[in-house]
Chain A
Amino acid sequence: MKNIIEILKGIINIIKQLLKDPIGRIGFIGVFIIVLLSIFAPKIAPYDITEMFTKSKLVSPNGEFIFGTDNFGRDVFSRIIYGAKVSLQVGIISVGISATFGYIFGIVAGYFEGVVDSIIMRFMDVLFAFPSILLALFIVSVLGPSLGNTMIAIGIVNTPVFTRTVRASVISVKSMEYITSAKSIGLKPINIILKHITPNILAPFTVQATLALSGAILTEASLSFLGLGIQPPDPSWGSMLSESRKYMERAPWLAIAPAVFIICTILSFNILGDSLRDVLDPKLKL
């Protein structure tokens, strides 16, 4: 109980510091808004996502339909808001999967080196050798198309990148004298990893995570585009974008709305990641 309160205090402290920095504020607020949108989607969306207004297909943005309607006469704004949920889910969960496995594999490979390292890294090289979309396609077609499987596929595809980032940082941190010092004090390897190595590889790790997050949202878009991601009629930003392609000239708002949301989300996450890295580095506070 005491620990939980302490962790919460730490998180609040980090948020406070994030808000002090104007750029961090932008990133934090951006992410915050997107999270709110996806949580409260049913309350915010003016219409049902499957409701078709047959009399007003491909209507340009107006007072009634803020972002216009699509070729079935569905409200784009409502679909965008529901899509936020899907995109965010895919981004966070798939990055969670790849970050977790990448961290474990990377730490083990980097810390213990030798045979374990060779085995893990050769396996990652094999995964790396496939173009990521091809690999994701393969995994989804084996598991069957669904949102959950899409997240698993994207998670697996991104794992080698995390493994490499973590392993490289671990190897460079491991040669620092404070690791030798920790050993000479008699710390167990697990404590050296958790207390000395992990905090010092956080910077590249967070940057990688935010980059992968945007990548995951985009990969989900491509998978949906190929019909292997989220299944219609459920909306995701990627699938909306890919459907809009046919009506690009007649109804550009169909492409602009999801594109702008994807850009803003990715930008917010990248900015947040950058400021988070700065906040977590004690050397930058004085």
Chain B
Amino acid sequence: MNNVLLEVENLKTYFPVKGGVLKKTTGYVHAVDDISFKVNKQETFALVGESGCGKSTTGRSLLRVIEPTSGKITFRNEDVIRLSKEEMRKKRKDMQLIFQNPYSSLNPRMTVNKLLSEPLRTHFSMSQKEIEEQILWVIDKVGLTKEQLDRYPHQFSGGQRQRISIARAIISKPSFVVADEPVSALDVSIQSQILNLLIELQKDLKLTYIFISHDLNVVRHISNSVAVMYLGRIVETGDTEQIYTSAMHPYTKALLSAVPSKDPLQKKKRIILKGDVPSPVNPPNGCPLNSRCESAMSICKEIRPELADMGNNHHVACHLYKE
């Protein structure tokens, strides 16, 4: 069990909904609703799901960029949620976040040099020379050149900006990086470059990733294990190949059937989920998918299925597979 870097237990992040003149709390958005998972060292754990299912909130809650409501996040045998703000701030050099949109995640008024030296000045007392060396090391790693250091973010293309973002995240040599849809804002041709860069960096720097994405092909390419999220909950989790070849949960099956195929002649059977995602303010009783599931039973409307072990690390939260 020593191989686990991060263990999440019963993580919940709710956002209050305020209404009226007096700003009374009238309800909660159940953005992340009681999820648990483990991430092994130097592996990539992917969170997939449609927009609004809570994957980004999960990623940010792990780093406490958004404060989680309750739960336990054990990182290197330490409960991150219990750390004081100041302790958490220091911890951040070991846990970093890569953002989705490289156009808005870099301060437009700072040069690349300043952007990259900032994490170092924050966490280490290094001399100017050491900082420069470290910057040269990191730009070499991410494929930028020395001449580009004095430029501002708007002078770069999307892919280059994402390289700057990545450099900023890894310059403090973290062991754990949450990549929040790092390629979905980029052109397809650039996507693969950035993905390969991430894979390379993982090998070089012994990084552990949480990879958040809605692009299932990308996830299959990069991750070791996958968790499928729906309405703030994990519905199925397991090793990547297991999920892609023998998905069990009806939602996962529907999701996989929507992946575009490489062969235009191949006819695939699409599973179409009817209706809309229920509101996370009033999530349905029982299984979150019960109103849209083809194989819904009467029990699905009453009891929420828990993740059950299907063997080989494969867990599914569905009544269909309960004996």
Contact = CB atoms under 8 A, between A and B. Distances in A.
B168 interface: yes
B123 A196 contact: no
Nearest to A199: B109
Contacts of A185: 92, 96, 118-119, 122, 168, 172
Nearest to A283: B154
B101 interface: yes
A178 B89 contact: no
A183 B154 contact: no
B97 A184 contact: yes
A64 interface: no
A187 B122 contact: yes
B108 A181 contact: no
Contact of B152 (A183, A195, A196, A282): A282
Interface of B: 60, 63, 65, 89-93, 96-97, 99, 101, 104-110, 118-119, 122-123, 152, 154-155, 165, 168, 172
Given A177-B101, A181-B105, 6 more contacts: A177-B105, A178-B107, A186-B89, A186-B91, A186-B92, A188-B89
A283 B103 CA distance: 13
Contact of B65 (A183, A195, A199): A183
A180 interface: yes
A283 B108 contact: yes
A178 B63 CA distance: 16
Closest 9 CB pairs of A and B: A186-B92, A177-B104, A184-B97, A199-B109, A177-B105, A178-B107, A282-B152, A186-B89, A181-B105
Nearest to A202: B109
A186 B65 contact: no
Given A177-B99, A181-B99, A186 B105 contact: no
Contacts of B96: 184-185
Nearest to A280: B109
Given A181-B97, A186-B92, A200 B122 contact: no
B89 A282 contact: no
Given A282-B152, A282-B154, A184 B65 contact: yes
A146 interface: no
Q: Most A CB atoms within 10 A — which of B90, B93, B106, B107?
A: B107
B122 A282 contact: no
B73 to A, nearest CB: 15
A116 to B, nearest CB: 15
Interface of A: 176-178, 180-188, 191, 195-196, 199-200, 281-283, 286
A184 B119 CA distance: 10
A199 B114 CA distance: 13
A186 B107 contact: no
20 contacts: A177-B99, A177-B105, A178-B105, A178-B108, A180-B60, A180-B105, A181-B168, A182-B118, A184-B60, A184-B96, A184-B97, A185-B96, A185-B172, A186-B92, A187-B118, A191-B122, A195-B107, A200-B109, A282-B108, A282-B154
Contacts of B89: 186-188
A199 B110 CA distance: 9
Contacts of A178: 104-108
Contacts of B63: 184
A186 B93 contact: yes
B109 A182 contact: no
Nearest to B93: A186
A188 B123 CA distance: 11
B131 to A, nearest CB: 15
B25 to A, nearest CB: 14
A180 B165 CA distance: 13
B123 A283 contact: no
A180 B101 CA distance: 12
A282 B106 CA distance: 13
A226 B172 CA distance: 63
Contacts of B119: 185-186
A186 B152 contact: no
A184 B104 CA distance: 15
Contacts of B92: 184-186
A199 B96 CA distance: 24
A176 B105 CA distance: 7
Nearest to A187: B122
Nearest to B106: A178
